[in-house]
Amino acid sequence: MLIIADDKIPFLKGVLEPYSKILYLPGASISNKEVKNADALIVRTRTKVNEKLLKGSKVKAVVSATIGTDHLDISWLEKNNIAWSNAPGCNSGSVKQYIASVLANLELKGFSLQGKTLGIIGVGNVGSKIISVGEAFGMKVLLNDPPRKEKEPDFPNTDLNVLLQLSDIITFHVPLTHEGPYSTYHLFNDTTLLMVKRGCVLINSSRGEVVDQQALLKGLNTGIINQAILDVWENEPDISLELQNKLLFGTPHIAGYAVDGKANGSAAAVQFLSKIFHWDLDNWYPQNLPSPANMVITFDEKDDGINTQLAKAILKTYDVSEDSRRLTQNPESFEYLRGAYPVRRELHCWTVKMPKECEDLKQRLSLLGFRIKQQ
Ligand SMILES: NC(=O)c1ccc[n+]([C@@H]2O[C@H](COP(=O)([O-])OP(=O)(O)OC[C@H]3O[C@@H](n4cnc5c(N)ncnc54)[C@H](O)[C@@H]3O)[C@@H](O)[C@H]2O)c1
Ligand SMILES: O=C(O)[C@H](O)[C@H](O)COP(=O)(O)O
């Protein structure tokens, strides 16, 4: 048996070898020639899994160690009886930390978040975790997810245009889709630009093509949009330098790249194949995940306001401005920066040591997912 695996998926080496021959290849270079004799594929977003790749092969199963599925031609896979899966929710905690870090930076730059409105478009695994980030900073939170509203009549949906008009910060967490009533390709465009509250902040960490970059540029050039933060871009890795220069932060598609998110993705991939090929890895999970040396945060800046304290705690776990700086220095290193990503652990891995009297701060830190130790 032969499995082809993307060589950038961590924690896999040695795990599947007792069950199959494994060929590790760079994701973008996996082609029909290599795949011909494979039984299964383990991919990331960089491998387009479609008829061109799989035609004439004996592949029986494809798994992507990612949340997104827009690189998989699902209808072709299903028509050809090829079992497939992604890793739902795997790095949602990592994206939560990314958005928390963006908000923390905004707070410390003087964009006071208390009482402002956060509009979340797409409220699935990631979007639902962003609600508590907004609430922790004392923001009002509006949600837009028409597919959920259709299935769950009680879902508190805000019409897209209303959300755009009322939100000080708009953040996208939708899948990239090109068809159907809820298609998201260029969901943000010239028309929706005219709906937003003047001076708003736009964040996109979903897929680049959800936001029409020309419309975003127009928004930034005219002041309709005050600041924009992009983790995902049209035409990755060839990003628009004109746009990059106008962003508050631009990062190389790493919002989901905390160690925890990657470990969850690898585990989901292994467990999926284990069930199909009847190995005894149905509950497999990577051991000894790498961590920073010290994951304890001590609070003593009692004079800071509560949102400043929250922001400082978040930035001790992860500062998005550092990822943005690295990409600004080397925009052509987009893929390199992804491959050589430093160790980052999600918020729930960090302990905050704090004085007993700060009950409100404690609640807000808990909303963000921190472990709390009161002294
Ligand atoms: N930048 C990164 O590193 C990173 C990491 C993880 C996920 N992502 C992207 O974020 C997307 C969302 O992740 P998720 O785990 O929350 O996915 P999910 O499938 O759990 O949730 C997506 C939500 O979007 C909703 N939706 C679909 N079309 C919509 C529309 N037109 N308007 C509003 N809502 C709509 C769906 O109903 C669903 O609730 C992924 O598909 C992936 O593309 C990016
Ligand atoms: O869809 C996802 O899970 C994320 O976008 C993920 O971070 C993609 O990572 P990649 O497969 O490109 O390494």
Q: Closest ligand 2 atom, CA of 87?
A: 3
Active-site residue flag, 253: yes
Strands 40-43 and 2-6: parallel
The reported pLDDT for the residue numbered 142 is 99
Active-site residue flag, 236: yes
The reported pLDDT for the residue numbered 256 is 98
For residue 175, how far is its CA from the centre of ligand 1 (angstroms)? 4
The reported pLDDT for the residue numbered 358 is 87
Ligand nearest to the CA of residue 28, numbered in listed order: 2
Which residues define the annotated binding site?
A: 45, 66, 145, 231, 256-257
67 CB under 6 A from ligand 2? yes
Active-site residue flag, 51: no
Pull the structure tokens for residue 64.
């992507």
The reported pLDDT for the residue numbered 161 is 98
- 2-86 to CATH, choices 3.40.250.10, 1.20.1440.230, 3.40.50.720, 3.40.50.300: 3.40.50.720
* Residue ID of nearest Cα to ligand 1 atom 19: 124
Q: Helix, strand, or coil here: 332?
A: helix
Domain 91-248 in the same topology as domain 2-86? yes
The reported pLDDT for the residue numbered 303 is 72
For residue 242, how far is its CA from the centre of ligand 1 (angstroms)? 27
The reported pLDDT for the residue numbered 47 is 98
Domain ranges of the chain: 2-86, 91-248, 296-374
184 CB under 6 A from ligand 1? yes
Q: What's the complex ipTM?
A: 0.99
Under CATH, to which class is 296-374 assigned? alpha beta
CA angle (197, 324, 209) in 5-degree steps:
55
For residue 158, how far is its CA from the centre of ligand 2 (angstroms)? 28
Among candidate residues 34, 135, 148, 236, the one labeled active-site is 236
Q: Architecture of domain 91-248 in CATH?
A: 3-Layer(aba) Sandwich (3.40)
Please, where are the H alpha helices in the chain? Answer: 32-35, 51-54, 74-79, 92-108, 125-136, 146-151, 160-166, 190-193, 213-222, 241-244, 259-277, 306-317, 320-329, 334-339, 359-368
Ranges of the chain whose pLDDT falls below 50: none
